[in-house]
């Protein structure tokens, strides 16, 4: 069976977007309408693949399915317009489950300004399936894409990395819910999309490429590399990590870099900015873009992430 | 468990749309952007609820999932902008299935001018789940809603009704695939959204309310009735039916009205127009809007559809 990336590449080839429209391949599609650009993204979460019912509360699932989608709008610097929810649920599921789900969905929607504008509710024979479509907007030509990094840019991230993956580790391994562990679990289940920061960065001309960190910085740098045709030199020592992550890793003897470099779902922003330009949001510089098409970690051309470091190959 | 309508009513109450935006409750949400209105709709189809894998070919499923969504744009008179597809498929499914699905999706998308602009492909533990989001646009204030019918309007439909439901009957009962039966099956699996007609009707000021016929004209008239606060007087003898439906019903001794009045998924347009105005597309007048909040069938206030007529209650 084709992999997801192969399938997407095929679709990109067979479904060209019309002139002026950015179609398949970035965090959102970008569609010029009037003097604005509409940003649109859709994401599906399937029970048994993306979540297990007895490991996530309905409130957390509602929050996370909305927040992770909003993050796609943040990733390009869009302002919120609205959300659409398609929900397929087994008839045996209690109303309290649906109320919990909509509670989480509603809380994050209101907090970040994405009103629920429509959707579809249907019966499912067994599993829950959730599809969230989000709309954002930006002044025409202003949103940030993955393909705009230039050699010599500084590579920056917002917030701290690894908390979400460590939170999942807490859950999967049934670790003690210390204060630090609890904070990490919240980062995993109740992520906070960087909408405000994305809008500020989109308004800054010196910011070139941008995306959100959903698969882990190792994979996500690669996306910018492939789209922009630049390489990266990253100093892992500068990757920002939270006190909670440090404390959790000390207590259980884990390597925080496993979470911070290899772990996904942080929903922080990854962006490149021209040297000499001060990005208008709190951020950490973790490296530079360079000529070429490889990622150099701490001066070595050995692949730090995903392969050598974590799987020993 | 709450029914779908109850759930949607709850959502409407708890998620108010911002000023100027039409949110939950019509065929699409309508969002003013620049000088235009963006139309957005999302629909989910779940294996085992909406389709059974050995009864529908992947090509037909791809076509139908796209076409039925495009029909929501036609329903309000929008012009095509693009489509987004979220597809969750079991890993055991062969590439030929996905290729067939995308073939049908692609053919109808190209024919009606909805480029695939994005989406999400994910693994599913077992069942196929399809979520299609469609975007259309119309000049600001021009698209047609369900709540705009006025007493004294003529009630009109495009095309013929009942073919799709009869096509399903052919499949479910394993009827002989005569030429007529085959045409009905195609109407069921390969519906043709009335995009061109919808745009023409949206441009006609005398057209008041409009929607597409997805659940059957009995149910769908009720939606306009509730949204507009008008009643209907319908002459069932004027409901347009195809020669294929007549021929099929003669051959198997069925009542064509069962399909034409009670059956869904025709994806024709249902609209009301001020008397004296000639609607700019081929159509049939089937009755009038009246004061009140009931549907009168052939001069009787007995409920013709859905209850008395079909289920004997």
Please, what is the average pLDDT of chain A?
90
- Residue of B10, B15, B140 to mutate, testing the A interface (most A Cβ within 10 Å of its Cβ): B15
Q: Which residue has the tokens 């959204």?
A: B193
Q: Choose the closest CB to B31 out of A81, A91, A116.
A: A81
Q: Is there a contact between A49 and B125 if contact means CB atoms under 8 Å apart?
A: yes
Note the pTM of the prediction, 2 decimals: 0.90
The model's pLDDT over B87-138, given as tens digits with 9 standing for 90+, comes to: 999 988 888 899 999 999 999 999 999 999 998 888 888 899 999 999 999 9
Pick among A18, A20, A44 to test the B interface (most B CBs inside 10 A): A44
- With beta carbons less than 8 A apart as the criterion, state whether B294 and B214 touch: no
Cα dihedral A256, A262, A264, A269 in deg (nearest 10): 90
Q: How far apart are CA A264 and CA B123, in angstroms?
A: 18
What is the model's pLDDT at position A3?
67
Cβ contact, residue pair A23, B123, below 8 Å: no
Please give the backbone phi and psi of residue A137, each rounded to the nearest 5 degrees, phi first.
-145, 160
Residue B9 is predicted with a pLDDT of: 72
Confidence of residue A233 (pLDDT cuts 50, 70, 90): very high
Chain A residues near residue B4 by CB distance under 8 angstroms: 121-122
* pLDDT of res. A15: 72
pLDDT, position A310: 33
Q: What distance in Å separates residue A257's CA from the closest CA in chain B?
A: 27
Q: For residue B117, which residues of chain A lie inside 8 Å, CB to CB?
A: 17, 21, 23-24, 29, 31, 40
Q: Do A86 and B23 touch (CB under 8 A)?
A: no
pLDDT digits (tens, 9 = 90+) for A150-203: 999 999 999 999 999 999 999 999 999 999 999 999 999 999 999 999 999 999
Collect all residues of chain A within an 8 Å Cβ-Cβ radius of residue B118: 23-24, 28-29, 40-42
Q: Mind telling me how many Å the CA of A4 is from chain B's nearest CA?
A: 6
Cα distance between residue A273 and residue A208, in whole Å: 6
Q: Which residues of B touch A14 (CB under 8 A)?
A: 102, 106
pLDDT, tens digit, for every residue of B211-243? 999 999 999 999 999 999 999 999 999 999 999
Please give, rounded to a whole number of angstroms, the shortest distance from the CA of A15 to a CA of chain B: 6
Q: What residues of chain A lie within 8 A of the CB of B88, using their CB?
A: 44, 46, 49, 129
Which residue is closest to B92 within chain A, CA to CA? A1
CA distance B178 to chain A (A): 34
Apex A90 CA angle, A88 and A96, nearest 5: 95
Chain A CA closest to residue B135: A40
Residue pair A82/A114 in contact by the 8 Å Cβ criterion: yes
Residue of B34, B48, B49 lying closest to A33 (CB–CB): B34
A52 CA: distance to closest CA in chain B (Å): 11
pLDDT (0 to 100) of residue A1: 60
Whether residue A1 and residue B91 make contact (CB cut-off 8 A), yes or no, is yes
- Identify from A79, A115, A119 which residue to disrupt to test chain B contact, counting B C-beta atoms within 10 A and taking the largest count: A119
Residue B95: its pLDDT value, please? 85
Dihedral sign for Cα atoms in the order A95, A97, A103, A109: negative
The total of other beta-carbon atoms located within 10 Å of residue B97's CB is 20
- In chain B, residues with a C-beta closer than 8 Å to the C-beta of A91 are 1
Please give, rounded to a whole number of angstroms, the shortest distance from the CA of A29 to a CA of chain B: 6
Cβ contact A298:A239 at 8 Å: no
Runs of H (alpha helix) within chain B:
4-14, 58-76, 95-112, 163-172, 179-189, 195-202, 217-228, 243-252, 256-262, 308-311
Residues of chain B with pLDDT under 50: 305-313
Question: Under DSSP, is residue B274 helix (H, G, I), strand (E, B) or coil?
Answer: coil
Question: What pLDDT sits at residue B302?
Answer: 59
B34–A35 CB contact, under 8 Å: yes
Residues 6+ apart with CB under 8 A from B35: A34, B139, B140
pLDDT, residue B179, reads 94
DSSP labels for B58-113?
Answer: HHHHHHHHHHHHHHHHHHHTPEEEEEEEEEEEETTS-HHHHHHHHHHHHHHHHHHT
Best probe of the B interface among A3, A8, A42, A62, by most B CBs < 10 A, is A42
**In this structure, what are the phi and psi dihedrals at residue B37, rounded to the nearest 5 degrees?**
-110, 130
Nearest residue of B to residue A84, measured between CA atoms: B42
Is A21 within 8 Å of B49 when comparing Cβ atoms? no
Contact B117 A21 (CB under 8 A): yes
CB pairs under 8 A between A and B: 219
The answer to whether the Cβ–Cβ distance between A118 and B82 falls below 8 Å is no
- B122 and A4 within 8 Å at the Cβ level: the answer is yes
| Residue B289 φ then ψ, to 5° | -85, 145
Closest CA to A27 of A62, A78, A67, A65: A78
Considering only the beta carbons, identify the residue of B1, B24, B84 that sits closest to A133: B84
Distance from CA of B124 to the nearest CA of A (A): 6
**Which residues from chain A sit within 8 angstroms of residue B133, using beta carbons?**
40, 42, 84, 133
Contact between A123 and B49 using a beta-carbon 8 Å cutoff: yes
Judged by CB atoms closer than 8 Å, whether chains meet at B121 and A16 is answered as no
Of B109, B117, B121, Cβ closest to residue A29? B117
How many Cβ atoms are within 10 Å of A31's Cβ, its own excluded?
26
Q: Report pLDDT for A313.
A: 30
Strands B154-157 and B284-290: antiparallel
Subunit contact A115:B15, Cβ cutoff 8 A: yes
pLDDT of residue B166: 97
From the DSSP assignment, how many helices (H) and strands (E) are in chain A?
10, 11
Run of H or E residues at A309: helix A308-311
B98/A7 Cβ within 8 A: yes
In this structure, what token pair is assigned to residue A199?
Answer: 């809008």
Round to whole Å and give the CA distance between A271 and A228: 12
* Facing B34 at nearest CB: one of A18, A36, A84: A36
Range of weakest confidence among A25-39, A60-74, B175-189? A25-39
């Amino acid at each position: 069976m084709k992999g997801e990336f192969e399938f997407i590449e095929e679709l990109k080839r067979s479904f060209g977007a019309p002139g002026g429209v950015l179609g398949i391949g970035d965090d959102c599609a970008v569609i010029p309408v009037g003097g604005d650009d509409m940003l649109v993204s859709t994401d599906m979460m399937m029970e048994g693949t993306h979540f297990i019912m007895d490991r996530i509360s309905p409130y957390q699932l509602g929050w996370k399915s909305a927040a992770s989608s909003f993050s796609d709008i943040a990733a390009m610097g869009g302002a919120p317009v609205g959300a659409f929810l398609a929900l397929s649920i087994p008839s045996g599921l209690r109303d309290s489950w649906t109320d919990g789900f909509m509670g989480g969905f509603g809380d994050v929607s209101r907090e970040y300004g994405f009103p629920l504008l429509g959707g579809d509710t249907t019966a499912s024979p067994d599993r829950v399936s959730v599809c969230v479509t989000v709309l954002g907007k930006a002044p025409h030509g202003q949103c940030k894409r993955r393909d705009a990094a230039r050699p010599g840019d500084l590579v920056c991230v917002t917030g701290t990395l690894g908390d979400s993956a460590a939170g999942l580790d807490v859950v999967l391994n049934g670790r003690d819910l210390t204060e630090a562990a609890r904070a990490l679990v919240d980062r995993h289940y109740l992520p906070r999309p960087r909408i405000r920061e994305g809008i500020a960065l989109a308004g800054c001309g010196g910011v070139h490429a941008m995306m959100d960190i959903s698969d882990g910085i190792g994979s996500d740098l690669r996306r910018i590399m492939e789209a922009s045709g630049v390489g990266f030199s990253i100093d892992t020592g500068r990757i920002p990590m939270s006190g909670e992550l440090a404390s959790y890793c000390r207590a259980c003897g884990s390597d925080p870099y496993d979470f911070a470099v290899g772990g996904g779902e942080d929903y922080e922003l990854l962006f490149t900015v021209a040297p000499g330009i001060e990005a208008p949001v709190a951020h950490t510089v973790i490296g530079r873009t360079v000529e070429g098409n490889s990622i150099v970690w701490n001066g070595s051309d050995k692949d730090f992430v995903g392969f050598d470091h974590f799987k020993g190959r």
